[in-house]
Structure 1
Amino acid sequence: MKKALLSRREALQRAGLVGAGLVMGGGGLVACSPGMGQSPNQDVDILNFALNLEYLEAAFYLAAVGRIGDIRNLGGNAEIRLPQGFDGTQPVPGLSPAVRQFAEELAEDELAHVRFLRQALGSAAVARPVIDLDQAFREAGRLASNGAITNFNPFANELFFLHGAFIFEDVGVTAYKGAAPLITDRNNVLDPAAGILAVEAYHAGATRLFLYQRKDEPVTPDLTVEQVVQAISNLRAQVGGGKDEGITKMGKANLVPADANGVAFGRTVSEVLRIVYLTGNTGVSMGGFFPQGLNGRFRTS
């Protein structure tokens, strides 16, 4: 297993950096595929866009299990903002054994994604941007609940942690799906990217199941888990080009969000940015979970 992982890393590194070659273009560092002369492709930019999202997810899950130190100095020392009174060195209070193990597995996966992409990109890897896991969550909670939730903190308890995970996981799936048609090297870049997409989909499905099992529990005096999850889904759909579903549909469980053909939704870069920046506007280059924007070429919605 370890040998196979290393070979995939080496293959991706060769494809993204060595085999493709790096040139300076008008928009910064771009890659050129063999046999295409100086015709640029976007593989390096796509992988760096993914790396920004993986930094965010890794920071969230590592903080949730009390291991924020594992990401603090990885990719630079940019600020990671956490809620007052929570420093990420102790797990979310009150996690059940099942959810605790789930959170630890996700933390390991997302940290591995960051390391994998950084190794593959080498010197072309972007630094970790400033990440906000405090005010951004409060704003997301307020927007999704029409003001009913005013101080949402995903690190306060197990149920809020699961809602925080729901905000992220489906976005990761749609981002990788949306990027797939843009990847030039289908053998050495698309294959590992598809593998990461599959892992994110497993994460999303498990998160949705945990929430579905508690769908009737009250989150506020007037809102159940099902209603809050639907509100989050509606908000993502509103700013992210539709392409979203809650954990129920027509009164039945809906654990696999997909289109009419049973195909996972895909989002454009702009649609993903409008979600993580918590804005429905185009032309925005920072905000929400990335208060100073993403690093790399793809940063403006």
Structure 2
Amino acid sequence: MGQDYDPITPYSRSNVPKADKNILEFALNLEYLEAEFFLYGSTGKGLDHIQPGLAGGGPPPMGARMARLTPLLRNIITQFAFQEVGHLRAIKGKIGGGIPRPLMDLSSKSFAITISKAFGRPLIPPFDPYANDINYMLASYMIPYVGLTGYVGANPKLQSSTAKQLVAGLLGVESGQDAVLRTLLYNRGAEKVAPYGITVAEFTDRISGLRNKLGHAGLKDKGLIVPVTLGVEGKMPGNLLIADTDSLSYGRKPPEILRIVYGSGKEQVPGGFFPSGANGTIAKKYLKSSKY
């Protein structure tokens, strides 16, 4: 913790082709998002304190803060946080540098706006992701799964074995994080989120529904309780993991990811968690065509 990070030496040898670098640089946007949200939520301190220099000079996130968590959840989220630091270091090491951290909005207001979109109305009082265990888990539910689908979608596009091996390793841990969060929430699915009187399961269904809507690519997301026809093998409503009819993970392309994390439903229009847009060749390509 707090150890200086050498931004040059680990990057001196990279045999990853440019096309693969662009894909991995795009993934860094989501890894920055996860790292900062989990670090601040569990420790109250961000990447600049934990691993100085790893952010590549990008601005610190807006509005991030420590959450009111019980010891068990704080321990779990802290583990997630340091895993994300490792992901950033691994990607940057493989591609010989990488993009700087983009400006991110991790404020309570940003999450409240997303939740309001999910329900089609403002929740009163506004949803606060940092208020307690349930709220923080629901806010966390919004994040790793998006990165997971991005890695599934990216894998067929990769050319080098180095990049494929890296993405496989990243995908394994992202999937694990998502599974842990969904299991914790599933265990409390019937519990009502105070003060709204809405169950945890309905929150997950609404968030997943919003991501499907924003992504404009059909059904690639499901909450914890689904119609039996959408459950595993069409046999049960419990939906611990998100998967297709063959129990395989869904994949998303970069435009779908941007539509979701921007909260705009348009890859050319930044907002949401990335008020100035994501960084890197792929994300910037869409921003250049924007007239926002």
Q: How does 1:116-155 map to 2 (within 5 A)?
A: 116-123=90-97, 125-134=98-107, 135-150=109-124, 151-155=126-130
Structure with bigger strand share is: 1
Structure 1's consecutive aligned runs of 4 or more residues displaced over 6 angstroms after TM superposition are none
Structure 1 CA distance, aligned partners of 2:70 and 2:12? Answer: 38
Change in Cα spacing, 1:197 to 1:190, as seen in structure 2 (3 Å) is same
The alignment's TM-score, normalised by the length of structure 2, stands at 0.83
Structure 2 CA distance, aligned partners of 1:235 and 1:11? Answer: 38
1:171 maps to a residue whose letter is V
Structure 1 CA distance, aligned partners of 2:272 and 2:14? Answer: 34
Q: Does 1:78 align with 2:51?
A: no
Give the structure 2 partner of residue 27 of structure 1.
none
Structure 2 CA distance, aligned partners of 1:173 and 1:15? Answer: 24
Q: Deviations over 1:173-222 (max 9, x none)?
A: 1010011111111x211011111001000000110011111111111434
CA-atom RMSD, angstroms?
2.2
Q: How does 1:1-301 map to 2 (within 5 A)?
A: 14-16=14-16, 20=17, 31=18, 42-71=19-48, 73=52, 74-75=54-55, 76-82=57-63, 88=65, 91-93=66-68, 95-123=69-97, 125-134=98-107, 135-150=109-124, 151-185=126-160, 187-219=161-193, 220-240=195-215, 241=217, 242-249=219-226, 250=228, 252-284=237-269, 286-299=270-283, 300=286
Structure 1 CA distance, aligned partners of 2:196 and 2:272? Answer: 27
Q: Once the two structures are aligned, what percentage of the paired residues are identical?
A: 33
Q: Deviations over 1:120-169 (max 9, x none)?
A: 2234x111010101132121111012224252221111111100110002
Structure 2 CA distance, aligned partners of 1:205 and 1:12? Answer: 35
Change in Cα spacing, 1:266 to 1:222, as seen in structure 2 (3 Å) is same
Change in Cα spacing, 1:102 to 1:199, as seen in structure 2 (3 Å) is same
Change in Cα spacing, 1:12 to 1:180, as seen in structure 2 (3 Å) is farther
Give the structure 2 partner of residue 39 of structure 1.
none
Moved more, 142-151 or 155-164: 142-151
The alignment's TM-score, normalised by the length of structure 1, stands at 0.81
Q: Secondary structure at the match of 1:253?
A: coil
Structure 1 CA distance, aligned partners of 2:267 and 2:39? Answer: 31
Q: Is the 8 A contact 1:214 1:225 kept in 2?
A: yes
Change in Cα spacing, 1:119 to 1:102, as seen in structure 2 (3 Å) is same
Q: Deviations over 1:18-37 (max 9, x none)?
A: xx4xxxxxxxxxx2xxxxxx
Q: Deviations over 1:60-115 (max 9, x none)?
A: 000111242334653214131116xxxx3xx421x223212110110011111112
Change in Cα spacing, 1:179 to 1:65, as seen in structure 2 (3 Å) is same
Task: Count the aligned residue pairs.
Answer: 260
Extract unaligned runs of 5+ from structure 1.
Answer: 1-9, 21-30, 32-41
1:291 maps to a residue whose letter is P
